[in-house]
Every structure is written in C-alpha cells, then in structure tokens.
Structure 1
Amino acid sequence: MNRRTIYIDESPIRFEKWRKYLPTWLKRFLPSSGGKAEDHHGKAIFGFVVFLLSESIIFLSFIFTYIALRLTHSGNWLPPGISSPELSTLVIVNSVVLLSSSFVIQPAENALQRGRLNKFRWLWLITICMGTFFLISQGIEWSKLDFGLSTGLVGSTFYLLTGFHGLHVLAGVILQVIMLIRSFIPGNYDKGHFGASATTLFWHFVDIVWVFLFSLLYLWTA
C-alpha cells in the first residue's frame, strides 16, 4: 500500500506567506515550500546567507571602529613623514577587476544551472584569475607603502581591514578552484550545485565589502 509522504515545515519562519511578494533575485536566498525536508539546496543556501550575515557583523565592527578612530584622532591620524594610502592607478585597476568579477561569476553559475559545463568552466576560470590578480596587486601595493602594521593607527587599521578582506578573497579563490576541479568529476553536479551557488554568493559578498573599504581607505581624505 502506498503511503503519502508528509513533509513538515521545518523553517522557523513561515516564508511562504510573504515569499510571493519578494523579487525574484531575493527568492533564491530563501528555502522554498516552507522549508520542506527535500529542499536541501534551498535550506543550505539560507543557512549560508545567515553565515554571511554573521561575517558582515565582523566587517561592520571593524568599519565602525575605523570611522570612530578617524573622527577622534583626526589631528594626529598620520604620524610625521607618513602619507595616507594613495588612490593610485594600481588600486583603481585592482578594484575594477575585483568588482567586475561579480559580473563574470554570476553567468558562470547560471551556465551551470543550465548544464553548460564548458561555459561554466571558462567563466569560472576567468573569475579565479581575476581574484588572483587582485591578491597579487594588493601585495604589490603593500610593498610600496611607507608604513607598516605597527605604524600608529593608520597602519594597524589599514592592514587589518585590507588583510581581513584579502583572506576572504583568498578563501573565495580556493573555493572556486575546488568547484572547478569538481566540475571534471562525471555527474558531480547532476544532483545539485550548492557549492557553486554558495561560492558565488560568497564572492558577491566579498565584492560588496570592498566597495565600503575602498571608500573609507582611499576616498576619505578629510
């Protein structure tokens, strides 16, 4: 005798009541069908979004600390003979490359969803190269600065913010490499592509954070 399987709404919030009012791009971050037991991808993505929110709190704490220190030490922010980080051509190009990578990795994920593995691999590889370029360029920039980590508040805050962000970029590149290698395993993405989707979200998060850091570290000259 066939028994009907009953799925219990496992989500703590009844998303389905207001899910239909959300834009399409936002729906992808929420579990579908009220968190049904079989919706592993939706629940996993939602859990990853919660993780990114926790990461954003860490970045926000660093950013607000930087702002508070700049405002309270405006008179002696830069030690004698030390100049602030320069908005050089290298920094501008590096930022453009990183932010543009979001417009490469998203089509890559879309291609994977449609089963177009070759297009996914090429776009994914380009994103890896762009992230690697950012890390190398940031290292070059660090080597040209006239202050170090122990050079007052300007040194400690600059390297803390850029270094912590750089670790996230490195983590994103490593994840992308893993997802690219997994694409060569026959049938690896046939049953789902949570890893690639989560990596894409993580990369968008990294890019958004850099917009704030770039504005604070290079555009705030007061």
Structure 2
Amino acid sequence: MNRGVIHVDESPVPLERWRRFLPNWLKRYLPVRGGRSEDHHGKAIFGFTVFLLSESIVFLSFIFTYVGLRLTHSRNWLPPGVSGPELSTFVIINTVVLLSSSFVIQPAENSLKHDHIQKFRWLWLITICMGSYFLIGQGIEWSKLDFGLSTGLVGSTFYVLTGFHGLHVLTGVILQITMLVRSFIPGNYEKGHFGVSAATLFWHFVDIIWVFLFSLLYLWQA
C-alpha cells in the first residue's frame, strides 16, 4: 500500500474551514480533503461508530419505555399466575458466555493486526461459537417461560427487548462468519481489515447493551 497517496475529498460539506480549530487526533477521522490512505481505516471506524450511536438511541428508547411502564404499572406488572423472567443459573451462564466473548474477539483482531492469521482464525471461531451458544440458550429460555409476547406488558416488553438484542447478536455472528471465510482468501487482509475492526466494535456494542438489558429484565426482578 502506498501510504503517501492523497485521496480525493468525498465530503459533501466543506469542513476545511473548521478543521484548524479541532484537536489533531480528531482531524484524521473527519472526511476532510480525503486524507492520506492510512487514515481511511480510522475514518471508516468513526463512521461506523456514528452508526452504532444511532443504534444505541433505538435501544435507549426501548429501555426508557420499559422503565416508564414498569414504574407506572408496578402493582399489576405480572399477570396472575405469571412469575416473569427468572435469574436462573442457566441465564447467568448464558450471560457470562456472551460477555466473555468480548475478551476473545479483541485479541483476535489484535492477532490479525500483527499478521498472526492462524491465531486470529481460532480466536474468531471461538467467538462465533460463544455467540451461537448465547442465541441457542436464549431460544431454550424462551421455550421454558410461562408467558408469551401477548402476556401483558411483561411479555411484550421482554420479548421486544431480548428479541431485538438477539437480532443484533445474530447479525454479529453472521458478520464474524463472513470475516472468517474471507480470511481464507489469499491476500484479503493485506490492504486493511476494516471489516474485522467493525465486526469487533459491533460485538462490543452488543455486549454492552446486554449488560443494561440483563440488569433491567433479571436483576430488577430478583
């Protein structure tokens, strides 16, 4: 890769006039004057981070809705005969597996940065297995619950929150599988590994969101 190449400015907004007032670490992430080729990875990650921030707003809207409904319907939150989601050993193990995967996927990305492709593949595969384990565990948990999607507020809020998060976990696993398959293409990551970095960042986001959902749906019930 020629690190001296200057790319054409693709920004629709002329930001150069404000660029001189920004700190140096932020300048290289902004789409101003195209930047040097080695800066494009950082700019792409910055754009992906903005996307994740928009996703977090959706999750926050669901979370605040849940908290508001829970506080205003505390007396009749659980319909008669319904115990609600329980903080069982199974749920705890499932949560530990998911959160621990963040400590596996990050070393995987770091291994790729240092051209340790075999180590990357094994750690990446382990992360895929951990994410799949969580999804299967969530499906098993759903099948054993004593309430459904139409069972009052507890049912609708629980399945919407966990289902939307589960969809993100599934997306993360699909992205990881794609990156793993691409690692077997000769020279695929010689020009950069934005896809791996984005998938890693997305996975950290999924894990952080689950910390909040786990606290609301299970610890609040305990």
Q: TM-score, normalised by structure 2?
A: 0.88
1:15–1:34 contact (8 Å) kept in structure 2: no
8 Å CA contact 2:6–2:35 kept in 1: the answer is no
Counterpart of 1:80 in structure 2 is: 80
Q: What does residue 136 of structure 2 align with?
A: 136
Provide the C-alpha distance between the structure 1 equivalents of 2:104 and 2:8, rounded to a whole number of angstroms. 38
CA distance in 1, matches of 2:157, 2:59: 12
TM-fit CA distance, 1:43: 1.4
Equivalent residue, structure 2, for 1:43: 43
Contact kept? 2:7, 2:33, Cα under 8 Å: no
Root-mean-square deviation over aligned CA pairs: 2.5
The 5-angstrom pairing of residues 20-39 of structure 1 reads 30=29, 36=35, 38=37, 39=39
What per-residue deviation string (whole Å, max 9, x for no partner) do you get for residues 188-211 of structure 1? Answer: 000000000000000000000000
Distance 2:137 2:22 in 1: 47
Provide the rounded CA distance (Å) in 2 between the counterparts of 1:103 and 1:74: 37
- 3-state secondary structure, aligned to 1:180: helix
Could you tell me whether the CA contact under 8 Å between 1:86 and 1:218 is conserved in 2? yes
> Which runs of 5 or more residues in structure 1 are unaligned?
none
Partner residue of 1:91?
Answer: 91
> Of the candidates 12, 18, 23, which is equivalent to residue 18 of structure 1?
23
Partners of 2:36 and 2:142 lie apart in 1 by 48
What is the distance in 2 between the residues matched to 1:114 and 1:31?
26
**1:182 aligned residue:** 182
Residues 1:193 and 2:198 are matched in the alignment: no
- Conserved in 2, the CA contact under 8 Å of 1:131 and 1:169? yes
Q: Distance between the aligned counterparts of 1:34 and 1:219, measured in 2?
A: 49
Question: In structure 2, how many angstroms separate the alpha carbons of the residues matched to 1:31 and 1:118?
Answer: 34
Please give the alpha-carbon distance, in whole angstroms, between the structure 1 residues aligned to 2:211 and 2:152: 24
Q: Which moved more, 1:33-42 or 1:102-111?
A: 33-42
Contact 2:6–2:34 (8 Å) recurs in 1: no
Q: Distance in 1 between matches of 2:211 and 2:6?
A: 46
Q: Is the 8 A contact 1:98 1:131 kept in 2?
A: yes
1:58 aligned partner:
58
Taking a change above 3 Å as real, the CA distance of residues 183 and 6 of structure 1, as seen in their structure-2 partners, is: closer
Quote the residue 2:115 is aligned against: 115
Q: TM-score, normalised by structure 1?
A: 0.88
Instruction: Give the CA deviation at 1:84.
Output: 1.7
Amino acid corresponding to residue 177 of structure 1 in structure 2: I
Cα deviation 1:35-67 (Å, max 9, x = unaligned): 615332111111100000000000000000000
Give the paired residue count. 213
In structure 1, the residue matched to 2:100 is: 100
Deviation at 1:72?
0.4
| CA drift at 1:16 | 8.4
Distance 1:15 1:85, change over 3 A: farther
Where does the alignment leave 5 or more consecutive residues of structure 2 unmatched? none
Are the counterparts in 2 of residues 107 and 123 from structure 1 also a CA contact under 8 Å? Answer: yes
Q: What is the DSSP-based 3-state SS (H/G/I as helix, E as strand, rest coil) of the residue aligned with 1:161?
A: helix
* 1:103-146 CA distance string (max 9 Å, x none): 00000000001111000000000000000000000000000100
Q: CA deviation at 1:19?
A: 4.5
| 8 A contact 1:111–1:119 mirrored in 2 | yes
Secondary structure in 1 matching 2:44 = helix
